[in-house]
Chains A and B, each alone.
Chain A
Amino acid sequence: MIELKNIKKSFDGLEVLKGISMTFEPGKTNLIIGQSGSGKTVLLKCMLGLYSVDSGSMLFGNRPLENMDDNQRRILRREIGMVFQGSALFDSMTVLENVMFPMQMLTDQDEKSIRAAAHEVIDRVNLNEATQKLPAELSGGMQKRVAIARAVVMRPKYLFCDEPNSGLDPKTAIVIDNLIREITKEYNITTVINSHDMNSVMEIGDTILFLKDGLKAWEGNKKQIFKTDNEAINNFVYSSRLMKKVKEVYQ
């Protein structure tokens, strides 16, 4: 479980996060949604420890991130998997090498068991035929699947995904969404996803945090999002014609 308590963060005097509190539970896909510039990425980077917060507390389990020393942070980072917006696969490594990389770097396991663990997750994301390919030889959807495999090969407790659907066609996006949800449930991971894709929200939004101008404007799940009277979230969700039509049909 990740618990955020009154998180504040400013850059050069500009307050980007204005006191965010939220709980992300394990085994659920927790989505952070909001317009560009609402503070989603900053909040995610704060949780990853890439930015330090100005005030507030972030609890991983019962461990406050702000009180951790370097060694404790190192241990925590081994419990974290991350899927980047652009996949961030290492260009010069094959799919198998990319997936094996975190284990080679961070564990003392022998090559054979690392290879076996990597093959297991590659099999889980259905990429057995691509193990010896380089990232440049893969489609966007396949790259995302490799990124997911690399993120979960260490069996993390926490999985962060930054816009996992960006640049993908709607059908592939749903495949990626469902894969993340299935893995979240299978491995009982606390998954936090940054997204502004409404299909993802409807597909996998077990918990949804809506940010607007650095504030928590709404919190709920994919069922509640249709029923809410909150003006801010309604303006965001029903900004497209398609979603307006969906609402009419739903009502």
Chain B
Amino acid sequence: MKLLHHIGAYLLMLRLVFIKPTKAKVMRKLIFKDIQDLIVGSLGIVAFLSFFVGGVVAIQTALNIESPLIPKSLVGFATRQSVILEFAPTFMCIILAGKVGSFITSSIGTMRVTEQIDALEVMGINSVNYLVFPKLVAMMLLPLVINISMFLGILGGYTATLYGGFSSSADFIDGIQMDFKPFHVFYAFIKTVVFAIVLATIPAYQGYYMKGGALEVGKAATVAFVWTSIVIIVLNYMITQLLLA
């Protein structure tokens, strides 16, 4: 029953995001601020993780190829497939659920406990639109971040392969070009857009409807991370089944 209540309240909040919009001039500023906080602010960690995880994927693939019948180009192929299909869109979004999600929950939650949301409501401002809509718009740029993640993941794999001596540059490049299906990139971006909506709204819901004080803000951020991760994993399964199966 409690879960159904939360799902209902979450859907009602989503409706509020789009009604009684904030003035365009103010909204534009908020969107740019959220792009800075949520997207630009995430580039560093995304770049770092993608490069090294791409490297690890390549090393592990190379170390598990024992048969001389398997071509060395498989290292590049496996790195590309792992990074494009799963690591960049799904696991990077789960990592961002920790960074971006907890930022959204704690910033909105703090506004709740310090009565700043009540102040917006008393002024006659749709606080849900004011707080959540710019984050949702900013998160629509997440595919760009994931694009960078894909590139750096493969670059990390290439670097690790070359410096580890696991295969030649030509083999690796041959592998990343082998049997390439552009639809896989499209599938990854579709997933990313869906996950971006989840990343912006579930943490916002947890922050907006939280009750209590500073301690509860921390708890809400944890709950937001858990639920965002669960929803991303479930949606990942559903989208994969729908688009690739």
Question: Chain A residues in contact with chain B, CB under 8 A?
Answer: 48, 50, 73-74, 77-78, 80, 82, 84-86, 88-91, 102, 104-106
Contact = CB atoms under 8 A, between A and B. Distances in A.
B23 A105 contact: yes
Contacts of A78: 123-124
Interface residues of B, number: 15
A105 B115 contact: no
B217 to A, nearest CB: 13
A88 B124 contact: no
Contacts of A106: 123-125
Given A78-B124, A105-B125, A84 B26 contact: no
Contacts of B22: 105
A5 B42 CA distance: 55
Interface string B129-146: 000000000000000000
B123 A102 contact: yes
Nearest to A160: B122
Residue of B110, B115, B119, B121 most packed against chain A (CB within 10 A): B119
Nearest to A81: B122
A86 B114 contact: yes
A78 B119 CA distance: 12
Contacts of B115: 84-86, 88
Contact of B122 (A82, A85, A86): A82
A82 B118 CA distance: 10
Interface string B100-119: 00000000001000111011
Given A48-B122, A74-B124, A104 B26 contact: yes
A189 to B, nearest CB: 15
A70 B25 CA distance: 23
Contacts of A91: 110, 114, 116
